[in-house]
Amino acid sequence: MDDVFDWPGVLRRINGNAGLARRLLTDFFADHLPLRIAAGHGEDVRRLVHRIGGSAGNLGLTGVAAAARACEVLLLSGSPPDGAEWRSALDRLETCIRVARDGVDAVLAGLPEDSPAEGRAGGEYPVSPGTLAALLADNDLAALAAVERWHAAASPSPCNDDILEAVRALDFTRAASLLAVEEGDND
Amino acid sequence: MTDPIEMLIVDDEPANIQILHAAVGGLGPVRFARSGEQALKLARDAPPDVVLLDVVMPEQDGFQVTRALRSDPLTAKVMVMLVSATCGDADVDRGLECGADDFLAKPAPPALVRQRVRLLAELARRRRG
């Protein structure tokens, strides 16, 4: 299994935070569809396969990482993107992604659906909207832990859920805008 | 008790930022940027001790960002660690020529990332006098 998905390895890299691992892996498979590679051109494709390789390596998707790197090496060597060699490498990457996805699904299926809050730093003190806004404005990653506590204490609302999702996706600009709207509505 | 290390992680891929953050978050405050342009702005606004900088990014790559950091008096002394999935001799040579202080292949064991950041921060403090 480790040659497809190194689950212990990815857990080690993120301090055993299974909830974060689930989310990053889910995002990976949502983002990196082989169709995007097939539809791309030139330098964009090289960047995309490089990005897939780097992320896959970090996320313990060892087979995907190796297949993506093989694609990148091929492109760097000047292999034509419509040639048989490229097509074969891309097929291999697609297969690896599919196999990895099955492996990941099997592991994630064994985890509890709702993970506890992902934040760890900073203890259990309440987080005010002002504090959260300041962290977002500074692009401070302490916002990742802060937003979990803020969300847990805030009144349930679709907007608050969107703020949580935007922060988790590191889209702090959107999160800050949503937070400003939410706080304006609450005034 | 060691002083907190101020860090800036630069990567266009959010997952990579979060994984590096998990490794170094306990060492001090961490900001992030998802582009070279944003990284340069954040570094000028408040120079960190260490920048962990992805190499392959759209628009400005890590080499260009390193050069820009070195050419600005406000950020010239910031320690730069390039982080890349592609870590061949040519990449390392180019990174060091651009003024990077270190080069790390990803994925990297968290303990190694932390140790390299600690060492770079110590060098940064000596460099600043």
Indicate if A15 and A73 belong to the same structural domain: yes
Range of the domain at B52: 7-128
Instruction: Indicate if the pLDDT at residue B109 is higher than 70.
Output: yes
- Report how many domains make up chain A: 2
The predicted-structure confidence for B28-53, as pLDDT tens digits, reads as follows: 999 999 999 999 999 999 999 999 99
CATH of the domain at B104: 3.40.50.2300
CATH number at residue A44: 1.20.120
At A110 the pLDDT is 81
Question: Which residue's structure tokens are 């709207």?
Answer: A181
Contact B95, B55 (CB under 8 A): yes
Query: Three-state DSSP class for B82?
Result: strand
What pLDDT score was predicted for residue A113? 66
Write the residue in A57, A142, A144 that is nearest to B85 by C-beta: A57
* pLDDT, average across residues B107-113: 92
What pLDDT score was predicted for residue A49?
Answer: 87
CA distances from B50 to A3, B106, B121 (A): 33, 17, 6
pLDDT in tens, chain A (187 residues): 567 889 888 888 888 888 889 989 998 988 756 666 666 667 778 888 888 999 999 999 999 999 999 988 888 888 777 788 888 888 899 899 999 999 999 888 887 765 444 444 444 567 888 989 999 999 999 999 899 989 988 888 899 999 999 999 999 999 999 999 988 866 6
Beta carbons of B38 and B31 less than 8 angstroms apart = no
B17–A24 C-beta distance less than 8 A: no
pLDDT for residue A75: 83
CB atoms within 10 A of CB A162: 16
DSSP string, A26-57: HHHHHH--HHHHHH--HHHHHHHHHHHHHHHH
Domain limits for position A73: 7-109
Whether the Cβ atoms of residue A118 and residue A144 lie closer than 8 Å to each other: yes
Quote the number of domains for chain B: 1
B9, B17, B19, best to mutate vs chain A, most A CBs in 10 Å: B19
Do A65 and A148 have their domain in common? no
Q: What angle do CA B104, B106, B108 make, to 5 degrees?
A: 80
Over 50: is that where the pLDDT of B69 sits? yes
Test the A interface: residue of B16, B17, B18 with most A CBs within 10 Å: B18
Cα A178 to chain center, whole Å? 21
**Backbone phi, psi, residue A17, to 5°:** -80, 90
Rounded distance between C-alpha atoms, residue A80 and residue A184, angstroms: 54
DSSP designation for A77: T
Contact A183/A129 with Cβ under 8 angstroms?
Answer: yes
| Cβ–Cβ pairs < 8 A, chains A and B | 85
Residues A60 and A28 in one domain: yes
State the pLDDT at residue A117.
45
Phi, psi angle pair for A81, to nearest 5°: -70, -10
Q: Per the domain annotation, does B30 fall within a domain?
A: yes
Q: What pLDDT, on the 0 to 100 scale, is given for residue A116?
A: 46
Q: What is the pLDDT of residue B7?
A: 97
- In this structure, the answer to whether residues A81 and A133 fall within a common structural domain is no
For A117, phi then psi, to 5°, come to -50, 140
Contact at 8 Å (CB) between B106 and B16? yes
